[in-house]
Amino acid sequence: MGDTHRLNLPALFDDPHLVVFRDEGAGSLKLWPVLRYTTPCREFTCLQVHASRDGLLVFSNTISHASDRIFYVCNPTTRQFAPLPQLFEPGRQGFTTSISGLYLHQPSHEYRVLYFCRVLPANWIDSVAADFYVMTVGSDEPRRFIGQPPPSSPPSIGQALLKGLPCSNLSAPTFHHGSLHWDLGRYHRKYTDKHDIMVFDTTVETFRWMRRPAEAPLGLWTLLSEMKGALALFSGSDGVIMDVFVMQDYKEEVWVLRHRINLSAAVTALPQFDLTMGVVNEREFLIELPGRLLHCDIDGKVLGVVDEDGHRIHITTYSLKESIVPLALFQEQKGHGASDEPRPFFLGM
């Protein structure tokens, strides 16, 4: 591995494992473990991925309840890890904390985490509110609240933020043009009008809307990704015909239809519920079906069915870029107990 960075590898989840695909060539993909529990343990019940950036993964292990999550940042290639700062004390009643994204803040050259905290109503009937915070990895600086949009923003941004962003393992943000992007069309139709894509500018750290392609259906199959350096949206309503729209002009938000993928030769009927996809490279992607993963190309050809070897594998929509670049943040975190932190999981590639 002569380069400091390698190609992105699609990340998948198999409780209690996290695995990624390695491209073995000739259309063959091989599962490769990254995280797993070292021994069966009831105390730690679930590993979950929350963010990925520059060879780093953010994940959590949950102790019996989501309010008890412990978040970690790690580099599986160098086998370095450290706990992330807690937004609130673990076990706080009436709140659950999650992570929307990890990014490099260019002005300060700091890695920062975008947290959101859901306020759970006592009667479980009222709307759930969500507050957004930013914290710097490896820093003692207090959390910074950014949950309210600026006065000039459309009211719909505030309404959507109150509902929170979708579950991170189902809709990972796409980093492009210095911003994190989420396709919210199927989650917040009541508030998004026709804009549908939520954008978080990682430099000024504010939210805004972006238009998705007008021709793209708000179907059950959708994936926001990158293709040849441009923002790309996979969209389909029946699971058989998949359109791929590519953003031709980012500033003017101009989309063009680049591909139409017909999967009818691979499957005759697909279940009509939310299904997950993951991008392997510029021409290949994965589709999660009950009990199997399809490996397809942009022309609709099925390259193979991934052998799950008796495991139930789920696509996380994240990818992992192998990196051997040492980062100071792990040294900085040693003062926060990183070196003494008990590790109930195996880490490495």
DSSP per-residue string spanning 3-54: SSEEEEEEEEEETTEEEEEEEEETTEEEEEEEEEESS--SS--EEEEEEEET
Q: Looking at the predicted structure, is the pLDDT value of residue 73 above 70? A: yes
What is the Cα–Cα distance from 11 to 35, expressed in whole angstroms? 11
What is the Cα–Cα distance from 339 to 160, expressed in whole angstroms? 39
Q: Which of 10-19, 107-116, 304-313, 330-339 has the highest mean pLDDT?
A: 107-116
Q: What is the extent of the structural domain holding 131?
A: 5-347
Distances (CA, A) of 137 to 33, 92, 122, 316: 25, 22, 32, 23
133-165 residue pLDDT tens: 898 887 777 778 776 544 445 666 666 666 666
| Matching residue, tokens 């943040």 | 329
Identify whether the C-beta of residue 253 lies closer than 8 Å to the C-beta of residue 247. yes
Q: What is the CATH number of the domain that holds 210?
A: 2.120.10.30
Q: What is the per-residue burial (b if ≥16 Cβ within 10 Å, else e) of 85-103? A: bebeeeeeeebbbbbbbbb
Number of domains in the chain: 1
317-335 residue pLDDT tens: 788 877 777 666 666 555 5
